Structure 1
């Protein structure tokens, strides 16, 4: 597919260039402009894990970004697609997405669409899968969460990767090793075998719990409970596909981690099916799934 390396929008001539760590200050400004919570450190992590492009004007300002993350040779997650408010609805987002779609041909593509970008993705052929709720807030209480979880040990990490692969339907070892390196973890062990885990790390305004992989809602609650108990008065976030009114989401609401926003999970091609029996109760984040 022929691709234009420059784009003229309302008198701004934009060039598309590879994203690098040197762009982090301007990328942080871009995400702040659209009220995304990502810190400079959060940008540094995703740049280290994926491939990205920026739309830059002639004096170096960044007006848009788009990234993709290779989960495997057959699956890619697309994320961090942002255009500055003055460029929204002007074609910059579609231009960046075309570059990403060109680069990821041959893989099944998945993303989480904001309300602002949903129509763009539909026009590119993406199909809806399931909504994802962004839940966050200051922890005001710690509901009962039972027992059964213990702190993660180094020896648990290989099994955690296996559980994540089974719950996702695709292996993403580079992503998971990076997340494990900056996270606290809780696991559930039964008869000497790890059956579920939850990780928590610094992100945005506070901390995010994710991924969360468990065989049942009660296990998911038991995994998150120690984090909630340890961070009363702090800001916590969970991104989940679990609907309102379930024991897991009721637990989060009772703790003060309440619905804030929602995105729509979408894919361009069929995705591999999870093999379970554990499933994903909480995402790493919206870009990485």
Structure 2
């Protein structure tokens, strides 16, 4: 089924009918109101970034109100993420989310799939064949007095990202993410500040930070171990002291990276579950390979 075929479908739900429209043409203010209705922090600008980065549908009721959404983000190497699956509170438990997901799955045939599921959505995704793979820890809060960073050793340099770094950072992100996402990275660079850690002239870790939701979010943050991740995280902690900062990470409580985040005032706020269909996304990587320490967004991985 193609997207054009999918968006012509409709669904009868109780006393009214839902129609699916291309999310690219959906009213941005209504999409923003939809996410507010389920207490998601996305600004209108965050919605626009998602629309620029992927495809999707909005569910519209018979008087033109947007009451649901689903988006998908095909990347390179036949991998895609699914996210922004939202139904208004009055439609939850009525099958609308499954209908939205059917559109996404129809358009993504042949892709390996990953998503990050909120607790209410886990049952739906498992019923569609997704399996649990990891936990994402959503940390957020006002940065307060971060401890000192690890000291640099001989041959190491920590410096700002420059345009000349973009190709190397995109390649490093591909190793960590396990699929290429060149176009997404090119969209992120102009919106972000960032740092790289060089070791003997080679970039081994980096982080980007941009405006998102209630403040700023760090991601992607890519490193091979906690020490390097802490080094490229620390400049953002310094830059946003007293301000709201968020990072979504798969590093659990008790690891050095997680301890740095929590000690700096960015408390654990919530968790979501990484789930996959047709692949292994976060497991089975070789020792010493770069890892995604900070997600771009839960929707994008």
TM class, shorter-length: over 0.9
Match of 2:144 in 1: 140
Q: Does 1:90 align with 2:91?
A: no
Alpha-carbon distance in 2 for matches of 1:82, 1:97? 10
Match of 1:188 in 2: 197
Tell me if structure 1 keeps the 8 A contact 2:77–2:180.
no
Count the aligned residue pairs. Answer: 289
Q: Is there any run of 5+ residues in structure 2 with no aligned partner, and where?
A: 153-157
Match of 2:106 in 1: 102
Tell me if structure 2 keeps the 8 A contact 1:21–1:44.
no
Alpha-carbon distance in 1 for matches of 2:177, 2:87? 29
Alpha-carbon distance in 2 for matches of 1:21, 1:166? 34
- TM-score, normalization by structure 2: 0.93
Q: Does 1:234 align with 2:246?
A: no
Alpha-carbon distance in 2 for matches of 1:146, 1:173? 31
Q: What is the CA-CA distance between 1:240 and the residue it aligns to?
A: 0.3
Match of 1:15 in 2: 19
Q: What is the CA-CA distance between 1:10 and the residue it aligns to?
A: 2.0
The 4+ residue runs of structure 1 with deviation greater than 4 A are 1-4, 272-276
Q: Deviations over 1:247-285 (max 9, x none)?
A: 100000010111101100001111466566221111000
Match of 1:31 in 2: 35
Match of 1:203 in 2: 212
Match of 2:225 in 1: 216
Q: Does 1:158 align with 2:162?
A: no
Match of 2:155 in 1: none
Alpha-carbon distance in 2 for matches of 1:73, 1:223? 28
Q: Secondary structure at the match of 2:100?
A: helix
- TM-score, normalization by structure 1: 0.96
Alpha-carbon distance in 1 for matches of 2:69, 2:12? 16
Q: Is there any run of 5+ residues in structure 1 with no aligned partner, and where?
A: none
Alpha-carbon distance in 2 for matches of 1:19, 1:102? 16
Tell me if structure 2 keeps the 8 A contact 1:168–1:274.
no
- In the superposition, relative to structure 1, how do residues 240 and 16 fare at CA in structure 2: closer, same or farther (>3 Å)? same
Q: Does 1:67 align with 2:71?
A: yes
Alpha-carbon distance in 2 for matches of 1:262, 1:34? 16
Q: What is the CA-CA distance between 1:28 and the residue it aligns to?
A: 0.3
Match of 1:261 in 2: 270
Q: What is the CA-CA distance between 1:21 and the residue it aligns to?
A: 5.1
Alpha-carbon distance in 2 for matches of 1:142, 1:101? 43
Match of 2:291 in 1: 279
Q: What is the CA-CA distance between 1:8 and the residue it aligns to?
A: 1.6
Alpha-carbon distance in 1 for matches of 2:285, 2:50? 24
Match of 1:249 in 2: 258
Q: Deviations over 1:163-217 (max 9, x none)?
A: 0001111101111111112000110001111111000000000000011101221
Q: What is the CA-CA distance between 1:63 and the residue it aligns to?
A: 0.7
Alpha-carbon distance in 1 for matches of 2:218, 2:48? 19
Q: Deviations over 1:37-85 (max 9, x none)?
A: 0000000001001001011012210110000001125111001000000
Q: Secondary structure at the match of 1:105?
A: coil
Alpha-carbon distance in 2 for matches of 1:161, 1:174? 9
- In the superposition, relative to structure 1, how do residues 136 and 15 fare at CA in structure 2: closer, same or farther (>3 Å)? same
Across the aligned residues of Structure 1 and Structure 2, the Cα RMSD in angstroms comes to 1.6
